[in-house]
Amino acid sequence: MTEKKTKIFSTTILGVRAKMKVAIAGDGQVTLGDMAIKQKAVKVREFEIDQGGVVGGFAGAAADALTLFEKFEQKLDQYDGDLKRSVVELAKEWRTDKVLRHLEAMLLVMDKRFSFIISGDGNVIEPDGPIIAIGSGGGFAQAAASAFYETGKYTAKQIAEKSLKIAAELCIYTNDSITVLEIG
């Protein structure tokens, strides 16, 4: 018989690139098993670099993700703000380091030109389009964002916020306490 581990999860992160801006949004809910234990967690942040900004968000175990954010920031500093190089180097270290490889989270990072999803098994995914999402409500948020984006009426920040509100109505692991960051 296997023992089921109760994990803390932080979900639904959405990134949007529209009208020369980049926005990233995250909901505030943290769950422990089937119980919501925190409603106003902040799962997105901005990383300052000389060439502009980088925004990121996480889904998964919160403490693990915060450790990875710190490692990511070190990589950005080490590689002079080169997002692509920083992401690849983080993924390599995450996959091969004895301690880091046990961290359970996913990161979504973006700047004005690039978007990436990074996972602990060494995957670095660069999506084709201007919309990217992770977490349990990510599919809902991405679908809504695609529809808003196609209208051409909304800014990146508006798309991100409206889409997360829709995800919160559909996904039980997503709430409407939304944090949105915008660069550009």
Asked whether the CA dihedral 158, 23, 177, 32 is positive or negative, the reply is positive
Q: Any idea what DSSP says for residue 1?
A: -
User: What is the reported pLDDT for 182?
Assistant: 96
Q: What is the pLDDT of residues 81-122, one digit of tens each?
A: 999 999 999 999 888 888 877 788 889 999 999 999 998 777
3-state DSSP call for residue 49?
Answer: strand
How far apart CA 77 and CA 74 sit, in angstroms, is 5
Is residue 183, in this structure, part of any structural domain at all?
no
Active-site residue set: 11
Q: Tell me how far CA of residue 65 lies from CA of 34, 71, 157, in angstroms.
A: 20, 10, 23
Total number of domains constituting the chain = 1
User: What is the reported pLDDT for 36?
Assistant: 87
Q: What's the chain's average pLDDT?
A: 89
Of 9, 3, 14, 41, residue with least CA distance to 143: 14
Between 68 and 62, residue with greater pLDDT: 68
Is residue 29, in this structure, part of any structural domain at all?
yes
Query: Largest Cα–Cα distance of the chain, in whole Å?
Result: 54
Q: How far is CA 172 from the centre of its chain?
A: 18
pTM of the model: 0.91
Q: What is the pLDDT of residues 124-145, one digit of tens each?
A: 999 999 999 999 999 999 999 9
Please say if the pLDDT value at position 79 is more than 60.
yes
Q: Could you tell me the CATH number of the domain that includes residue 27?
A: 3.60.20.10
3-state DSSP call for residue 103?
Answer: coil
Is residue 35, in this structure, part of any structural domain at all?
yes
Is residue 1, in this structure, part of any structural domain at all?
no
Is residue 144, in this structure, part of any structural domain at all?
yes
Parent domain of 122: 8-175
